[in-house]
Structure 1
Amino acid sequence: MSRVVGWVRSLLAPLTRTRAFRWLGPRALPMAERLTRRLTGGRVQVSGLLVPSLTLHTVGAKSGEPRASELMYTPDGAGSAIVAGTNFARGSHPGWTHNLLAHPDAEITVRGRRYAVQATRIDTDPDAREAAWLRIERQWPGYRAYERDAGRQVRLFRLRLVRELQAGRLAARAR
Structure 2
Amino acid sequence: MIGERLVQKVAGTRGFLKVAPHVVPALDRAVHRLSRGRVLLSAQMLPGVILTSTGARSGRPRRTPLACMPDGDDGWFLVGSNYGRADHPAWTYNLLRHPDAEISWKGRDVPVTARLLAGEERAAVWRELLVFWPPYATYQERVARELRVFRLDRR
Q: TM-score normalised to the size of structure 2?
A: 0.95
Asked whether the 8 Å contact 1:37–1:44 carries over to 2, the reply is yes
Which runs of structure 1 show a deviation greater than 4 angstroms over 4 or more consecutive aligned residues? Answer: none
Q: Give how far 1:65 is off.
A: 0.6
Match of 1:11 in 2: 6
Match of 2:107 in 1: 112
* Cα 1:131/1:77, change in 2 over 3 Å: farther
Identity of aligned residues (%): 37
CA distance in structure 1 between the aligned counterparts of 2:114 and 2:55, rounded to whole angstroms: 15
* Aligned with residue 90 of structure 1, among 82, 85, 91: 85
CA distance in structure 1 between the aligned counterparts of 2:121 and 2:2, rounded to whole angstroms: 28
Q: Give how far 1:129 is off.
A: 1.3
Match of 1:153 in 2: 146
CA RMSD of aligned residues (A): 1.2
Structure of higher CA gyration radius: 1
Q: Give how far 1:78 is off.
A: 4.2
Structure with a larger share of its residues in strand = 2
Amino acid at match of 1:69: T
Q: Give how far 1:100 is off.
A: 0.1
Match of 1:73 in 2: 68
Match of 1:41 in 2: 36
CA distance in structure 2 between the aligned counterparts of 1:86 and 1:98, rounded to whole angstroms: 13
Number of residue pairs the alignment of both structures matches: 155
CA distance in structure 2 between the aligned counterparts of 1:77 and 1:112, rounded to whole angstroms: 17
CA distance in structure 2 between the aligned counterparts of 1:7 and 1:39, rounded to whole angstroms: 31
Match of 1:139 in 2: 132
CA distance in structure 2 between the aligned counterparts of 1:76 and 1:159, rounded to whole angstroms: 9
Q: Give how far 1:159 is off.
A: 0.1
Q: Give how far 1:156 is off.
A: 0.5
Asked whether the 8 Å contact 2:11–2:135 carries over to 1, the reply is no
Aligned-partner SS, 1:150: coil
Asked whether the 8 Å contact 1:133–1:144 carries over to 2, the reply is no
Q: TM-score normalised to the size of structure 1?
A: 0.84
